[in-house]
A and B are shown apart, each in its own frame.
Chain A
């Protein structure tokens, strides 16, 4: 297989293919950079062009674009506190406070470097998974998938901040918003109030943008002044890279976690940044996550680029899209005269391997390109907020509107945005709401299937029990640890 990998490398390095890859990378960074636009938009833009293309060139274009969306989307997350795409929300938690301190360049440097490493690890994961993918994917049956969604939901508890009760309530609210629309198993509509718009449920980009970006717009207007509190930008890109190197285990760990979550079909790779953030928060001692800890940037950024490699496994080998982006990729494959399936491992193996190389190379090109852009773009954080708001409002509205091209998108954006604003005022954590929203349908779907198929028998599945124990440890472990540390603190005082 190494031999064919080398062969694929020489195919990828063909100048015409590199050119198309760079085109893809360029577009990927732009859609990532613009808040609200993400991989799905980039794919839709490119789809009309790939028709009839040589598959190697077409894939260079598409994968080049997908690979770097989560590199480019770091800019708005760090500089403005607005997610650049739905995959970089967790970066805001610490990236934005860092920008406020004037350390935007440092945060960006660390984030971009981690994105690159994460992307490369994702590519390697894809390569390593090729021979074992089939048995691996079929080992996740519905009860296991259900327990994994539960594990994801229990992560919401970790992100709840000081008040677990508020976190749990926010998570439940997310579950409720996620249940709008038609039920996964039987054709029944919930909370649609006879609006056809709601029958498909709310789209993730609308909810993610509204809940995080809308409140920022209001704060920008009310607080006046620029994002960075000091007029002086300190710390350079290289300092950030150094930070990332110091935390190399965290980078590795988060990247592996990212590609694993991307790999599990139907788990919603869109919360991978939160899960990596939560896991980081849990495992790092003496952290100041949430107040501008550079490690809070490193964890999610390593994970979200790694996810793409993982999510390509079920997409290419089984034709199961893990996200909106990969769903369109499947269509793109057909337009190039290919079909996802086991053939991608036999007759089409060179193409699959070329995808691995494209992922790796595109991530490197993308990160380097972005690093050269950090200096000029970081100055955004010096611009007074009220001057940015009109520009951002338009971008965000376009971003929301592109999910269904319906008025409902904008109404939903504003309604959920107001909810997000109220939550910020009351100091309620918003990440649990988003995790609940993303996992709502999967959780319901797999619970329903488990019960329908196995009755209660599935509860005795050993993997289910293992994950169950893990969840209990995760939930109680946190509060026990907190109690111990509180006791220690009290004793210290």
Chain B
């Protein structure tokens, strides 16, 4: 009798384990033998490690159509949401269990990149295992309340009121802004825990915070009218990283000084030191390379070549430029070669000193032990 129980249990366990395997394992690509004869797929999958409706999901869904139009045979691309773990779950799954045959793509965003940069233990993906195809930036503007009585970012050292900053979490997109405060020695109290940038903006309107940042579209839609009404003052833009790794003005905000210019004005010299290096590193990973679509590094060369060609065709496509202006916030996508170079540079700049600086910063300023994440 007991034997029967044991056997049944074993059977259930086996079925369970079998069930855990992704379907693709069972139907493991029959075509794998002919992979070198070109790239003639009719269905591609785009893994989105976020819930449907979010920024990255919208970006990915939008990109499926123009991408498929430029690939040979025009395969349809379907989006697969694998949410959870703040996008770590889905990206891990993409790297570990999706077929590396060039039919599976993944779309990532700043909140996928930060845990990787911070070397969090739950991260199983690495930029080395992925080949970037399409990448697009976003920008950020830091602005203050009119009550601060300053005209622009150059007056930041004359602020007398206590500064309050409303944010979500020290290890999310806020991190870059918080590091910029550290670079500029802005003494603000960061109140974290808000549900998103939207609620943080409402907090600014209520006077619960008096210094805030928004990304490009949100800034243009919601804050520029306030600037015109004299209720908000733009202080500086977070800037963009150029090919040489330097901070330059954001093309969407050509009139706003960057962190670098504000620093120069306040201190009379160029910013330098570990804080500045870290700022550039994170600005690059979270803004300049905010949204990236990748394919497995291990995918067949023919597939990778075709996908790279597609990405480059996209850069030149005028119609795409027009249609994408809302989704890409009027920024342009990078050519594939440039994107790859930028990712390589990003990887080169990753070092122990930067990570240690961030961990120390998080522990000292926000009481978060980054090593435990």
List A residues at the B interface (Cβ < 8 Å). Answer: 43-44, 47-48, 51, 137-139, 141-142, 182, 184-188, 196-197, 199-200, 265-266, 318-321, 324, 327-332, 334-335, 337, 339, 341-343, 404-407, 445, 448-449, 452-453
Q: Mark B62-105, 1 if CB is under 8 A from A, else 0.
A: 10010000000000000101111110110010000000000000
A453 touches B191 (CB 8 A): yes
Cβ distance A105 to chain B, nearest Cβ, rounded Å = 37
Q: Which of A44, A199, A339, A452 contacts B217 (CB 8 A)?
A: A339
User: Which residues in B have their C-beta under 8 angstroms from that of A184?
Assistant: 193, 195
A199 touches B86 (CB 8 A): yes
User: Which residues in A have their C-beta under 8 angstroms from that of B62?
Assistant: 51, 335
What 9 A-B pairs have minimum CB-CB distances, sorted nearest first?
A331-B53, A185-B193, A328-B53, A320-B198, A341-B221, A196-B85, A44-B52, A452-B191, A187-B171
Q: Mark B191-217, 1 if CB is under 8 A from A, else 0.
A: 111111011011101101100000001
User: Which residues in A have their C-beta under 8 angstroms from that of B81?
Assistant: 44, 405
Cβ distance A464 to chain B, nearest Cβ, rounded Å = 14
B208 touches A453 (CB 8 A): yes
Q: If A266-B195, A327-B54, A448-B193 touch, does A196 touch B88 (CB 8 Å cutoff)?
A: yes
A/B interface sample: 18 pairs, CB < 8 A: A138-B202, A184-B195, A186-B192, A196-B88, A196-B122, A199-B86, A200-B83, A200-B84, A320-B195, A320-B202, A321-B198, A329-B53, A332-B53, A334-B327, A335-B61, A339-B326, A405-B81, A453-B189
Known: A187-B171, A341-B221. 18 other contacts (CB 8 A): A137-B202, A138-B202, A186-B170, A186-B366, A186-B367, A196-B85, A199-B88, A200-B83, A327-B51, A327-B53, A337-B326, A404-B84, A405-B82, A406-B84, A406-B89, A445-B194, A449-B191, A452-B189
Q: If A141-B208, A197-B84, A445-B193 touch, does A186 touch B203 (CB 8 Å cutoff)?
A: no
B89 touches A445 (CB 8 A): no
User: Which residues in B have their C-beta under 8 angstroms from that of A43?
Assistant: 52-53
B58 touches A335 (CB 8 A): yes
Q: If A186-B170, A199-B85 touch, does A44 touch B326 (CB 8 Å cutoff)?
A: no
Q: Which of A142, A188, A341, A343 contacts B208 (CB 8 A)?
A: A142
Rounded to whole angstroms, the CA-CA distance of A326 and B166 in the bound complex is: 23
Q: Mark B31-67, 1 if CB is under 8 A from A, else 0.
A: 0000000000000000000011111011001100100
A331 touches B57 (CB 8 A): yes
B88 touches A342 (CB 8 A): no
A44 touches B53 (CB 8 A): yes
Shortest Cβ distance from A200 into B: residue: B84
Rounded to whole angstroms, the CA-CA distance of A342 and B222 in the bound complex is: 7
Rounded to whole angstroms, the CA-CA distance of A142 and B326 in the bound complex is: 32
Q: Which of B52, B57, B89, B166 contacts A197 (CB 8 A)?
A: B89
Q: Which of B201, B203, B225, B372 contacts A142 (CB 8 A)?
A: B203
Shortest Cβ distance from B218 into A: residue: A319
User: Which residues in A have their C-beta under 8 angstroms from that of B89?
Assistant: 196-197, 406
Cβ distance A135 to chain B, nearest Cβ, rounded Å = 10
User: Which residues in A have their C-beta under 8 angstroms from that of B222?
Assistant: 319, 341-342
Cβ distance A159 to chain B, nearest Cβ, rounded Å = 26
B86 touches A200 (CB 8 A): yes
Name the residue in B52, B82, B170, B206 with the highest tally of chain A Cβ atoms < 10 Å from its Cβ. Answer: B52
Shortest Cβ distance from A407 into B: residue: B20
B252 contacts A by Cβ under 8 Å = no
User: Which residues in B have their C-beta under 8 angstroms from that of A265?
Assistant: 199, 202
Q: Which of A47, A199, A407 contacts B53 (CB 8 A)?
A: A47
User: Which residues in A have their C-beta under 8 angstroms from that of B84?
Assistant: 196-197, 199-200, 404, 406
Name the residue in A319, A324, A452 with the highest tally of chain B Cβ atoms < 10 Å from its Cβ. Answer: A319
User: Which residues in A have their C-beta under 8 angstroms from that of B130?
Assistant: none
Q: Which of A139, A186, A196, A448 contacts B368 (CB 8 A)?
A: A186
Q: B residues 315-373 with Cβ under 8 Å of A?
A: 326-327, 366-368, 372-373
Q: Mark B107-148, 1 if CB is under 8 A from A, else 0.
A: 000000000000000100000000000000000000000000
B164 contacts A by Cβ under 8 Å = yes
Cβ distance B101 to chain A, nearest Cβ, rounded Å = 22
User: Which residues in A have their C-beta under 8 angstroms from that of B196?
Assistant: 320
B85 touches A141 (CB 8 A): no
Name the residue in B122, B194, B202, B205 with the highest tally of chain A Cβ atoms < 10 Å from its Cβ. Answer: B202
User: Which residues in A have their C-beta under 8 angstroms from that of B372?
Assistant: 188
B312 contacts A by Cβ under 8 Å = no
Cβ distance B367 to chain A, nearest Cβ, rounded Å = 7
Name the residue in B65, B79, B170, B198 with the highest tally of chain A Cβ atoms < 10 Å from its Cβ. Answer: B198
B206 touches A141 (CB 8 A): yes
User: Which residues in A have their C-beta under 8 angstroms from that of B366?
Assistant: 186
User: Which residues in A have their C-beta under 8 angstroms from that of B85?
Assistant: 196-197, 199-200
Cβ distance B224 to chain A, nearest Cβ, rounded Å = 10
User: Which residues in B have their C-beta under 8 angstroms from that of A187?
Assistant: 169-171, 368, 373
User: Which residues in A have their C-beta under 8 angstroms from that of B189?
Assistant: 452-453
Cβ distance A18 to chain B, nearest Cβ, rounded Å = 25
Shortest Cβ distance from A139 into B: residue: B206
User: Which residues in B have their C-beta under 8 angstroms from that of A321?
Assistant: 198
Rounded to whole angstroms, the CA-CA distance of A342 and B195 in the bound complex is: 20
B368 touches A188 (CB 8 A): yes
Shortest Cβ distance from A451 into B: residue: B191
User: Which residues in A have their C-beta under 8 angstroms from that of B326?
Assistant: 334, 337, 339
Name the residue in B53, B203, B366, B368 with the highest tally of chain A Cβ atoms < 10 Å from its Cβ. Answer: B53
User: Which residues in A have their C-beta under 8 angstroms from that of B54?
Assistant: 327, 331
Q: Mark B216-241, 1 if CB is under 8 A from A, else 0.
A: 01100110010000000000000000
Cβ distance A451 to chain B, nearest Cβ, rounded Å = 9
Rounded to whole angstroms, the CA-CA distance of A287 and B18 in the bound complex is: 54
User: Which residues in B have their C-beta under 8 angstroms from that of A44?
Assistant: 52-53, 81
Cβ distance A13 to chain B, nearest Cβ, rounded Å = 28
B198 touches A318 (CB 8 A): yes
Rounded to whole angstroms, the CA-CA distance of A27 and B193 in the bound complex is: 36
Cβ distance B291 to chain A, nearest Cβ, rounded Å = 13
Q: B residues 176-193 with Cβ under 8 Å of A?
A: 189, 191-193
Cβ distance A61 to chain B, nearest Cβ, rounded Å = 15
Cβ distance B3 to chain A, nearest Cβ, rounded Å = 27
Cβ distance A405 to chain B, nearest Cβ, rounded Å = 7
Name the residue in A139, A187, A266 with the highest tally of chain B Cβ atoms < 10 Å from its Cβ. Answer: A187
Cβ distance B332 to chain A, nearest Cβ, rounded Å = 19
Rounded to whole angstroms, the CA-CA distance of A445 and B62 in the bound complex is: 33
B193 touches A449 (CB 8 A): yes
Rounded to whole angstroms, the CA-CA distance of A184 and B83 in the bound complex is: 18
User: Which residues in B have their C-beta under 8 angstroms from that of A137?
Assistant: 202
